[in-house]
Homo-oligomer: A and B are copies of this chain.
Amino acid sequence: MMERVVIVGTGLIGASVGLALREAGFIGTIVGVDASAGEAAEAKRIGAVDRTVAPGHRALKAYMTADAIVLAIPVMAIMHWIDQFAELLGPHTLVTDVGSTKLAICDLARTRFVGVGRVRFLPGHPMAGKESGGAAMADGKLFQGAMWLFTPLDEAETEPETEWRRWVERMGCRTMDLDAARHDRICAWVSHLPQMVSTAMAAMFEDEFAQEPGMAEEFRAIGGRALREMTRLGASPYSMWRDVAQTNTQPLAATLFALEQRLAHLRENLKTPGLREEFVKANRFRRER
């Protein structure tokens, strides 16, 4: 039975996991660890964690006595902790994560965790989030109806893993198991590409609007829902997406290149029947959703 959970990283996702666990009926202890004392305090204030521990020496005890540790931090930080936990923890602890890319994490975990007497690791990825981070934005209903992906290291499943999956389902998630490489390739299309396009458009507008005095105000006054929606993810933090770009570089570059070619094709066909074909395909994509 999972009684003691430590959430490492009490930002938007970590604090939302805490709230969602509570709403799903979890009655054990939830401890929050965050490099930012402010984030940790906010997570405690909103009831996402019962208590907070500063990272470092004092947190070690929390890790060592945990039934489950949820790594809700960027991918590179997750990899740092996989490395640390391999020495620190034994098979009584389940480690799971919410990292946006999975291949680099799984490759490392395979070298550090797999084997008799090692800590159990269940790599996970909830397809949920907001463009603005922080515990202040946390929401116990963030995962309702969302997809929570898993990329297990092996076929075997221990009781703590089964229990964590049950909690994820109780939070309102659908779940799916995927091979880690396939996960990264699909997420490059459906998540990382939309993020990078939104960032590129927002950055381009920022440069464009700065060119003439008064232009920014005019553009903003005229731009409606389309502009807002297509640049919404532009508010996302570099700190998280740097790690996605670092660990999913090739699949992400491939999707960006494909879109560049697609936009060039559309541009060259603004006055030909080729434009109609693009709209017909796009209409079909939306109808089938």
Task: Please report A residues at the B interface, Cβ cutoff 8 Å.
Answer: 127-128, 131, 146-147, 149, 174, 176, 186-187, 189-191, 193-209, 216, 218-224, 226-238, 241-242, 245-246, 249, 252-253, 256-260, 262-267, 270-271, 275-289
Q: Which residues on B sit within 8 Å (CB–CB) of A146?
A: 224
Task: Give the interface centre of A190, A232, A237, A238 by most chain B CB atoms within 10 Å.
Answer: A190
A205-B271 in contact (CB<8A): no
Q: How far is the CA of A149 from the CA of B193 in the complex (A)?
A: 33
A197-B263 in contact (CB<8A): yes
A238-B276 in contact (CB<8A): yes
Copies of this chain, count: 2
**CB nearest to A289 among chain B residues:** B220
User: Among B202, B224, B249, which residue has its beta carbon within 8 angstroms of that of A190?
Assistant: B224
A219-B281 in contact (CB<8A): no
A190-B222 in contact (CB<8A): yes
User: Among B216, B236, B260, B279, which residue has its beta carbon within 8 angstroms of that of A260?
Assistant: B260
**CB nearest to A277 among chain B residues:** B203
Q: Which residues on B sit within 8 Å (CB–CB) of A216?
A: 288
Q: Which residues on B sit within 8 Å (CB–CB) of A265?
A: 200
B289-A228 in contact (CB<8A): yes
**CB nearest to A228 among chain B residues:** B289
User: Among B149, B222, B275, which residue has its beta carbon within 8 angstroms of that of A149?
Assistant: B222
**CB nearest to A183 among chain B residues:** B222
Q: How far is the CA of A15 from the CA of B101 in the complex (A)?
A: 47
Q: Which residues on B sit within 8 Å (CB–CB) of A201?
A: 193-194, 197, 259, 262, 282
Q: How far is the CA of A267 from the CA of B237 in the complex (A)?
A: 18
B234-A246 in contact (CB<8A): no
A282-B234 in contact (CB<8A): yes
B271-A218 in contact (CB<8A): no
Beyond A190-B222, A204-B258, 20 additional contacts (C-beta under 8 Å) are A147-B222, A176-B221, A176-B222, A190-B226, A191-B223, A191-B224, A194-B230, A196-B263, A196-B266, A199-B266, A201-B259, A202-B286, A203-B278, A203-B282, A206-B285, A231-B285, A245-B275, A246-B271, A249-B271, A253-B267
